[in-house]
């Protein structure tokens, strides 16, 4: 199975900050990496597909990059609505594993 290592597991940042979350995979997966946002008590929401493609309706302050084994999700200009847990997920092979999540809090 492909192991997904997300870092940090949690972080606290101020409104307007630039935040970066990293996802590392145990083997190369090309660009087959998605990012999801989950708020408490809610279902996950797809943010980014194929490592860097922003989904329709997702604010442009979200961006993704990376390929191979290292990927990043960046939020440029943190907003109150961004308080959530973020997960990476690989679609390269079954089982389609998720990272353990990064809980983002606003200072």
Terminal alpha carbon distance of the chain: 36
**Under the criterion CB under 8 A, does residue 30 sit at the interface with other proteins?**
yes
Which residue, 11 or 17, is less far from other proteins as judged by CB? 11
List 106's β-bridge partners, or say none.
13
Q: Map tokens 């999540």 to a residue.
A: 101
- With contacts defined by CB under 8 A, name the span among 19-27, 37-45, 65-73, 75-83 that binds other proteins: 37-45
Strand ranges in the chain using DSSP code E only, listed in sequence order: 4-7, 10-13, 18-25, 33-38, 45-49, 53-54, 62-67, 70-76, 84-90, 102-106
**Does 89 sit near other proteins (CB under 8 A)?**
yes
* Residue from 22, 49, 52, 69 binding other proteins (CB under 8 A): 49
Residues that bind other proteins (CB under 8 A): 1, 30-32, 34, 36, 38, 42-46, 49-50, 55, 85, 87, 89, 91-92, 94-101
């Amino acid at each position: 199975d492909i192991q997904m290592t997300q870092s940090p597991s949690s972080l606290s940042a101020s409104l307007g900050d630039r935040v970066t979350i990293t996802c590392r995979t145990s083997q190369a997966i090309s660009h087959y990496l998605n990012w999801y946002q989950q708020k408490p008590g809610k279902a996950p929401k797809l943010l980014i597909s194929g490592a860097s493609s922003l989904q329709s309706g997702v604010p442009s302050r979200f961006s993704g990059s990376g390929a191979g084994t290292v990927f990043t999700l960046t939020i440029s200009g943190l907003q109150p609505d961004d308080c959530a847990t973020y997960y990476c997920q690989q679609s390269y092979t079954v089982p389609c594993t998720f990272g353990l999540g990064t809980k983002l809090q606003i200072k």
